[in-house]
Amino acid sequence: MKTELLDGGSRQSIEKAAEILKNGGLVAIPTETVYGLAANAFDKEAVVKIFKAKGRPVDNPLIVHICRFEELYKLVKSVPQKAKELAEKYWPGPLTIILPKADTVPDEVSPGLTTVAVRFPSHPVARAIIDAAGVPLAAPSANSSGLPSPTTAKHVMDDMNGKIEAVVDGGACDVGIESTVVTLAAEVPRLLRPGGITLEQLEAVLGHVEVDPAVLSELKEGERPASPGMKYKHYSPKAEVYIVNGSLPSFKYQLDSDPREGDAALCFDGEENGLSVPCLSFGREDRSSEQAHSLFDDLRKFDEMGARRVFVRAPSADGVGLGVYNRLLRAAAFKILNPPVIYGLTGQSGAGKTTVAAELKKKGYLIIDGDVLARKAVGDPEVLKNLAAEFGEDVISTDGTLVRSLVAKRAFASEQKRQRLNEITHPAITKLTLQEIRNNFEPYMKGAVIDAAAIFDCELPKYCTKMIVVTADEAVRAERIMKRDGIDRETAMHRINAQKNEQYYIERADIVIRNNKNENLADQLSEL
């Protein structure tokens, strides 16, 4: 069959689409939520064709679309007051209401059920087509079963070309996720699928609305959902999708601690440049409606990119975000990752970082000694080779180890040389540190702490949700250094003066811990 692409902006196309529908054919139509695959709801044979074209499980009921409120009376047994109030407030719009079905609606629309789902879309092209067809239209989302719902005519063509009579192009769908589905056929109104009309908006009309457990959790083996569509895998690109909880630095850790070929990320606007894998952004972090609008398009794009694993920043599940989160849970088949929260711990020499680290360890944090890892990183053969090429073969001693003093001397001769040293060593230090966290972090731990004197010189702060800086008065620091290293005051002061001053650290800190003599460290750390 040749699938015709019709322009939703022309009257002729609307007439043509209506003609096909009246004759028992299938037409994909734009709505404000997603594209629907429509057939005359009263024509059994046409309805059956929808299931075939989509490869849809036969027990998954369809939504019937109308273009006037009064048409609801032809589809349901009776219209309760609450349905009238809902319709008054949110129709036309992204809301589907389930009510006991009238006998005139063929069983094929709601196989095995005594109810029917009805929606009055707001999209002008959808309304014009329903009106011109003169019958209510049964229409599920116009994707192949299991794939993300289509939000452009191109998406529909990708899935349905050759399987249906026509696709009407009405541009990109505004909402981007399917309608909110609420049932009024139960004793208490129940939200079966979250969408563009929020739970709060429903409750403003209905009072208490129960949220079906299938909205946020996986059905157990053999469990029967209130909405049959909930039990199927959905919205999935070919890639494995993972939802990643936590902050942007934890997300970066997730991506970089175990990188693999074909990794990609779905992030919030403005985060793309800081990530090390190909990424798409799906809207601003605090704008659920933007995320809804672009989610399905992005999920399809990952397939075009050939992504194998897609890591997704977890959206907030409030308002329209509940719908976004619900679709992502299904796209991810409920795979949710909780990477550790990482903190950086640093400060001037003698400030007492080690004491603070010990305190954090007692509180249940994994402590990573960054200074030890920095030394280990320069033992890496690749790093050694690059250092010899940059600073001279003689920086490698006869036993193959690095002559650190020689590298230091040459590197500190010029700013440019110092930068080269960092370029060679920092990627190795970062890699080793992330590996160390990955190998040692246990789920029962509260977080991971990277304890490193020179942390602000390297890339590691990008993985840290917060930076903890430990400070102490100069006199106290001098005493500690003298005692620790067995040196005199003059040498200790010389060292202190060679370091960055306290201000430098404080400016970069999220949390400052005072560690003179009698301060209570545990109290100061309770902020974590």
Give the nearest distance from C-beta 234 to ligand TXA in angstroms: 9
To the nearest 5 percent, what fractions of the chain are helix, strand and coil? 40, 20, 40
- Quote the CA–CA distance of 17 and 312 in Å, as a whole number: 38
> Tokens 């929260």 belong to which residue?
341
Q: Decide whether 38 or 421 has the Cβ nearer to Mg ion.
A: 38
Q: Decide whether 115 or 141 has the Cβ nearer to Mg ion.
A: 141
Site string for Mg ion, 120-149 (x = CB under 5 A): ---------------------x--------
- Quote the CA–CA distance of 179 and 192 in Å, as a whole number: 10
Render the burial of 378-411: b for 16+ CB within 10 Å, e for the rest: bebeebbebbeebbeeebbeeeeebeeebbeebb
| Candidate list 63, 197, 295, 368; residue touching ligand TXA; CB under 6 A | 63
133 binds ligand TXA (CB under 6 A): no
Render the burial of 264-278: b for 16+ CB within 10 Å, e for the rest: bbbbbeebeeebebe
292 binds ligand TXA (CB under 6 A): no
Give the nearest distance from C-beta 140 to Mg ion in angstroms: 5
- Using Cβ positions, the residue closest to ligand TXA within the complex turns out to be 229
- Strand, helix or coil for residue 25: coil
> Tokens 């199927």 belong to which residue?
232
List the one residue out of 48, 3, 7 whose CA is nearest residue 27: 3
Q: Decide whether 177 or 243 has the Cβ nearer to Mg ion.
A: 177
Residue ranges in 197-256 that form contacts with ligand TXA under rule CB under 6 A? 227-229
Residue 129 contact among ligand TXA, Mg ion, none, beta carbon within 5 to 8 Å by kind? none
| Candidate list 67, 97, 117, 160; residue touching ligand TXA; CB under 6 A | 117
Give the nearest distance from C-beta 233 to ligand TXA in angstroms: 13
Q: Decide whether 288 or 433 has the Cβ nearer to ligand TXA.
A: 288
Q: Decide whether 141 or 198 has the Cβ nearer to ligand TXA.
A: 141
Q: Decide whether 116 or 374 has the Cβ nearer to ligand TXA.
A: 116
Enumerate the β-bridge partners of residue 489: none
Cβ atoms within 10 Å, residue 476: 16
Single out the segment in contact with ligand TXA by CB under 6 A; choices: 77-85, 114-122, 414-422, 513-521. 114-122
Give the nearest distance from C-beta 311 to Mg ion in angstroms: 24
Residue 115 contact among ligand TXA, Mg ion, none, beta carbon within 5 to 8 Å by kind? ligand TXA
Beta strands across the sheet bearing 63-65: 4-7, 166-169, 27-29, 36-40, 137-138, 63-65, 115-119, 95-100, 180-183, 190-193, 210-211
515 binds ligand TXA (CB under 6 A): no
- Quote the CA–CA distance of 307 and 297 in Å, as a whole number: 14
- Strand, helix or coil for residue 323: helix
Residue ranges in 400-459 that form contacts with Mg ion under rule CB under 5 A? none
- Using Cβ positions, the residue closest to Mg ion within the complex turns out to be 141
Residue 90's contacts (CB-CB under 8 Å, 6 or more residues apart) are 197, 201, 205
| Candidate list 159, 169, 178, 298; residue touching ligand TXA; CB under 6 A | 178
Bridge pairing between strands 95-100 and 63-65: unpaired
227 binds Mg ion (CB under 5 A): no
Residues that bind ligand TXA (CB under 6 A): 31, 33-34, 36, 60-63, 96, 98, 110, 113, 115-117, 119, 139-141, 178-179, 181, 192-193, 227-229
Residues that bind Mg ion (CB under 5 A): 141
